[in-house]
Amino acid sequence: MTGNPAMLAKGPGLEDDAVQLGRSVRLPVLLKRLRLKQLLPAATVAVLLGGCVPNRQSFPAVLYVAVSNPDGSQLTSESSALFRKRFSHLVKNFQRIHPNVVVQVALYPEAQLRNKLQQRNRAGLSPDLILTGSGVANTLLRAHLTDPLPESPELRSASSPELLHRLRNRQGQLAGQPLMVFPQLACYDRRRLTKPPTSVNGLLRISAAGVPVGLPMEARQLLWTAGTFGAIPGLYDASLGRKPNPQQTAQIRTWLSWMQQASDQQRFNFLPDQTSLREALIKGSVAWMSCSSGELDLLRKTMGTHLGVASLPNGDGHSASPVNRVRVLALGRNSSPLQRQMALALIHFSVGPLVQRSLTLESFSFLPSNPHVRVPVQSSGVLQAMVESNQQARSSERLASELHQGDPRLQSLQAKVIVPLLFGLVEPSVATERLIAILRRNP
Amino acid sequence: MRELAREALGWMGYLERGQVLVQLLAFAAALFLVRRLRPSIVASKLRRRWRALLLAISGPGLALALSGLLPLAQQSFGLLQFLAQLWLGWNLLGLSEQLLAHRLPMERVHQLFSRLVRPLFLLGAVLLLIDKLDSLNDLAVIPVGQLFGTSIELGTAFTAVLVSYLLLLGSGPPAAALAWLAQKFLGISEGSRKAMELIVRYAVVGIGVMAIGFHVGINGTALLAIAGGLSVGLGFGIKEVFSNFVSGIWLLFEGSVRPGEVLMIDGDPCEVRKLGLRATLLWRDRDNAELLIPNQTFFTEAATTYTASDCMRRSQVNVGAAYHHDPIAVIALLEATALQVPRVLRQPAPKGLLLSYGDSAINYALRFWIANPMDNVSICSEVNQAIWTAFKQHNIEIPFPQRVEYSMVWPPEQHTPNTGA
């Protein structure tokens, strides 16, 4: 493919003309005879096939990474800068080992990711790596929008079996490699609350005492409260299609009664989503809220040292059951062999213990997915709270893997149980029956 | 901006992928084949309309057909399909422009397509292509700079520029429609209609620009600062610009300078073509020149117009006749002659005048009225020709001074009269 473009573009009969003209044919005359319009397609082909030259190693490999933003449906310059900052640390270190790799990051609102990937896959332009939540990664693999991750002992040991279980489909394929864990925490305003509540009843008490409390009206974000009443096993059984036993049903009913009781309180606010809740904390209309560690950077930026972080309050005899978000790296479908090779290299690199530790300590916003990494909890209260939350989350691990983020049952739960319950339209006993019925439906 | 340029350069990396290359090669092949087929289609015996349609759809159709074959070879096809659709869209735009040109004025259609439809199509195509290569949402939040302490993002800046352009272009027809309705129902004059159209347009653009400012996030204090800066600027640098702008609006309302008016500029009649934001465009018939004159010139200086209350102009030609002709007969002949020239108005009637007794002739003037002030020179020429013919027919002499030369001998004492040299 390194032939002379002029020869490639030679039209019929031109050779004869050249022979007739003999040595007197000069290059400008020849170029004039080869009209530009004829030359262009041939030149295009030559340029396009430039990719076939043997010395490809000298060209940089461009690695396309799509990152989904789980927060809301629109991106902001703050969230974009935050994601880029986080990812650029990883990429800079990776480029020290692979200097010939250029990484291009594109952020998508999580709600749009699937559609955009469909379009890009169809055009052969899919990203090489997708950094997204575990639930979305599962959905993408199911929709054949990503390739399953080739398993290796190194990658398997770089993650806990529970996390990997969340990412396996029915054929046992892995939807992605866990990269970081964002625990669900309690965020509060130190100016109005010196000590965060340690129990859910304590939460009701501070609310009754005049401290505004906020929770999101999203089923998955509220699951942590179910654990404080021991309702997780019943919910898990129902999610598998089994009928919870009477004790489990009673625990679910107690949980839902608590939620309705909380909703009845004047200063206990249920806001539509996590973004509204965060804005409410920044404005001061709530003083305590459940949050994800992924929000800490934005909250720190606006609240500074007034931001307090703690693990979520437990119940009487039962611990909270936060559903921690896991961000995973999944493989795109249209990569060239070199891009695939580099994508896997980046995955291997990013789950290494040293890289995971340095990523964690640079941001103080997430925990490493690699269980072999020791997090220095003594030096940071935030890290300690995250580690505590990670331990609390073990109780809901199996339920979280059954009820992943894209599960349609969550939508039904929200619309038919949570919202009517919080507005006092249904009694907790009715809501319990509805909830169990919805969960038992096979998605 | 560096970030944006880096992103754009990074898209070249897709050329590493075989699937992308195959689609681009298939598109190039379709382009090449259609170029080869084109002469046969042009030479075919199909009707002109069908031939144009075939030329428009053959290339994209071929590319679409190729995109249909690619999945059979386990290849991606979306990019090829997208390029084919763009190609088809572009060709159909060309066709619709031709069709519209049959029904609407060619210039209008050309303006519509070259200023609005084609740029919007290309813009949409580029955005859609970027959407396939990257995340538009992400690119939109790239900061491009600061304006009055407000950080401006690429998406906001782009929207602001696009909306401003659409406002400038798109506010014309609605403003014209509103002014037309006002004329229809309120009975305002033609000049007021045009003034109203312009003012509505300026108001829409002004409000739009304010709205864009608020959309971009510029706060009220910054706008006040702009207003303060403007007032200082008006006092010094841009006084003339503002003065011309206000003069233009005033003249439109007054109706003295509006498109179609005929004004005398440096002794030449000129027709007003367009009253612009800063200057008025006039057309001079004498040399087909277009004059751009600042609006405030008409506002501050005296101007002669032939079209303020009516469009008629009184014109005049001068002629001399020998002393032995009866002035009454000459004047009657002049008046009768003027009436024979078709573009001279019958009413008010032409009027002949004896102006003075000259050295070699009696000087007459013929005054007559014409309907179009711009035709003065050509009608005067016609009248002069008619007078020459009429005088010849009636043996009226047009005298002219004659000079007789004598050669002299120096010194004068040696000169003999009437002997020559």
pLDDT for the residue A40 = 53
Closest to A159 (Cα-Cα) out of A191, A126, A134, A132: A134
Q: What is the pLDDT along chain B (421 residues), one digit of tens a residue?
A: 666 677 777 888 899 899 999 999 999 999 999 888 888 887 877 777 788 888 888 899 999 999 999 988 888 999 999 999 999 999 999 999 988 888 888 887 888 888 888 999 999 999 999 999 888 888 888 888 777 777 788 888 888 888 888 888 888 878 888 888 988 888 877 767 777 887 888 888 888 888 888 877 777 776 677 777 777 766 776 777 778 888 887 877 776 777 778 888 888 888 888 877 788 899 998 888 999 999 888 888 888 888 777 778 899 999 999 999 999 999 999 999 999 999 999 989 999 999 999 988 999 999 999 998 888 899 999 999 999 999 999 999 999 888 888 777 788 788 777 654 4
Contact A80 B138 (CB under 8 A): yes
Q: Residue B272 belongs to what H/E stretch?
A: strand B268-275
The pLDDT-based confidence of A59 (bands split at 50, 70, 90) is low
Same domain as A237, residue A305: yes
Q: Which of B13, B20, B135 sits opposite A106 (nearest CB)?
A: B135
The pLDDT-based confidence of A47 (bands split at 50, 70, 90) is low
Same domain as A319, residue A413: yes
Give how far A280 is from chain B: nearest CA, Å. Answer: 22
User: For B242, what's the count of Cα atoms within 13 Å in the CB-facing half-sphere?
Assistant: 10
Same domain as A275, residue A189: yes
* Rg value, chain B, Cα: 36
Q: Which of A75, A108, A125 sits opposite B79 (nearest CB)?
A: A125
Closest to A138 (Cα-Cα) out of A343, A400, A411: A400
pLDDT for the residue B42 = 79
The pLDDT-based confidence of A30 (bands split at 50, 70, 90) is very low
Using the Cβ of A57 and the Cβ atoms of chain B, whether some distance falls under 8 Å is answered with no
Contacts of residue A106 in chain B, CB cutoff 8 Å? 134-135, 138
The yes-or-no verdict on residue A23 having pLDDT over 80 is no
Name the B residues in 381-420 with CB < 8 Å from any A CB: none
Contacts of residue B25 in chain A, CB cutoff 8 Å? 45, 48
**Count of A–B CB contacts within 8 Å?**
111
SS (H, E, C) chain A: CCCCHHHHCCCCCHHHHHHHHHHHCCHHHHHHHCCHHHHHHHHHHHHHHHHHCCCHHHCCEEEEEEEEECCCCCCCHHHHHHHHHHHHHHHHHHHHHCCCEEEEEEEEEHHHHHHHHHHHHHCCCCCCEEEEEHHHHHHHHHCCCCECECCCHHHHHCCCHHHHHHCECCCCCECCEEEEEECEEEEEECCCCCCCCCEHHHHHHHHHCCCCEEEECCHHHHHHHHHCCCCHHHHHHHHCCCCCCHHHHHHHHHHHHHHHHHHHCCCEEEECCHHHHHHHHHHCCCCEEEEEHHHHHHHHHHHHHHEEEECCCECCCCCCCCCCEEEEEEECCCCCHHHHHHHHHHHHHHCCHHHHHHHHHHHCCCEECCCCCCCCHHHCHHHHHHHHHHHHHHHHHHHHHHCCCCCHHHHHHHHHHHHHHHCCCCCHHHHHHHHHHHHHCCC
Q: How far is CA B243 from CA A97, A204, B247, B272, B385, in A?
A: 66, 69, 6, 20, 48
Give how far B158 is from chain A: nearest CA, Å. Answer: 15
**B95/B56 Cα distance (integer angstroms):** 8
Contacts of residue A64 in chain B, CB cutoff 8 Å? 10, 13-14
Q: Which of A75, A120, A336 sits opposite B16 (nearest CB)?
A: A336
Same domain as A353, residue A296: no
Q: Which amino acid is at A292?
A: S
pTM, two decimals, is: 0.71
Ranking A7-21, A124-138, A146-160, A347-361 by mean pLDDT, the lowest is A7-21
Same domain as A98, residue A11: no
**Fold annotation for B313-393:** Alpha-Beta Plaits (3.30.70)
CATH number of domain containing A275:
3.40.190.10
Using the Cβ of B124 and the Cβ atoms of chain A, whether some distance falls under 8 Å is answered with no
Contact A49 B21 (CB under 8 A): yes
Give how far B83 is from chain A: nearest CA, Å. Answer: 10
Using the Cβ of A109 and the Cβ atoms of chain B, whether some distance falls under 8 Å is answered with yes
Q: Is A380 among the domain residues?
A: no
pLDDT for the residue A278 = 92
Contact A125 B15 (CB under 8 A): no
Q: Is A84 among the domain residues?
A: yes
Contact B19 A124 (CB under 8 A): yes
Q: A266 vs B217, which has greater pLDDT?
A: A266
| CATH no. for B252-305 | 2.30.30.60
Same domain as A408, residue A269: yes
Q: Is A36 among the domain residues?
A: yes
Contacts of residue A60 in chain B, CB cutoff 8 Å? 13
pLDDT for the residue A389 = 92
The whole-angstrom distance between residue A268's C-alpha and the CA centroid of its chain comes to 29
Quote the domain boundaries for residue A48: 5-54
Contacts of residue B30 in chain A, CB cutoff 8 Å? none
Residues of chain B with CATH 2.30.30.60: 252-305
pLDDT for the residue B279 = 87
Q: Is A274 among the domain residues?
A: yes
Same domain as A349, residue A248: no
Name the B residues in 6-65 with CB < 8 Å from any A CB: 7, 10, 12-21, 23-25, 28, 31-32, 35
Same domain as A352, residue A287: no
Same domain as A163, residue A14: no
**B20/B329 Cα distance (integer angstroms):** 95
Residues of chain B with CATH 3.30.70.100: 313-393
Q: Is A67 among the domain residues?
A: yes
Q: Testing the interface with B: which of A38, A104, A110, A125 to mutate, by most B Cβ within 10 A?
A: A125
Same domain as A229, residue A165: no
Give how far B89 is from chain A: nearest CA, Å. Answer: 19
**Mean pLDDT, chain A, integer:** 84
Query: What is the ipTM metric for this complex?
Result: 0.73
Q: Which of B10, B79, B134 sits opposite A123 (nearest CB)?
A: B79
The yes-or-no verdict on residue A236 having pLDDT over 50 is yes
A317-368 tens-digit pLDDT: 899 999 888 999 999 999 999 999 999 999 999 999 999 998 888 888 899 9
Closest to A80 (Cα-Cα) out of A298, A378, A303, A389: A298
Tokens for A198? 């340690």
Q: Which of the given ranges, A19-28, A31-40, B392-401, has the highest pLDDT on average?
A: B392-401
Q: Is A162 among the domain residues?
A: yes
pLDDT for the residue A33 = 47
Q: What is the mean pLDDT of residues A111-126?
A: 92
pLDDT for the residue B155 = 87
Same domain as A161, residue A103: yes
Give how far A339 is from chain B: nearest CA, Å. Answer: 9
Number of domains in chain A: 3
Q: Residue B150 belongs to what H/E stretch?
A: strand B150-153
**B26/B124 Cα distance (integer angstroms):** 23
Give how far B138 is from chain A: nearest CA, Å. Answer: 5
Tokens for B218? 């510029």
Name the A residues in 278-317 with CB < 8 Å from any B CB: none
Q: Is A385 among the domain residues?
A: no
Give how far A243 is from chain B: nearest CA, Å. Answer: 45
Using the Cβ of B346 and the Cβ atoms of chain A, whether some distance falls under 8 Å is answered with no
Helix (H, G, I), strand (E, B) or coil at B153: strand
The yes-or-no verdict on residue A35 having pLDDT over 70 is no
pLDDT for the residue A17 = 39
Closest to B372 (Cα-Cα) out of B346, B344, B340: B344
Which residue matches tokens 């539509």? Answer: A272
Same domain as A295, residue A430: yes
Using the Cβ of B71 and the Cβ atoms of chain A, whether some distance falls under 8 Å is answered with no
Q: A41 vs A240, which has greater pLDDT?
A: A240
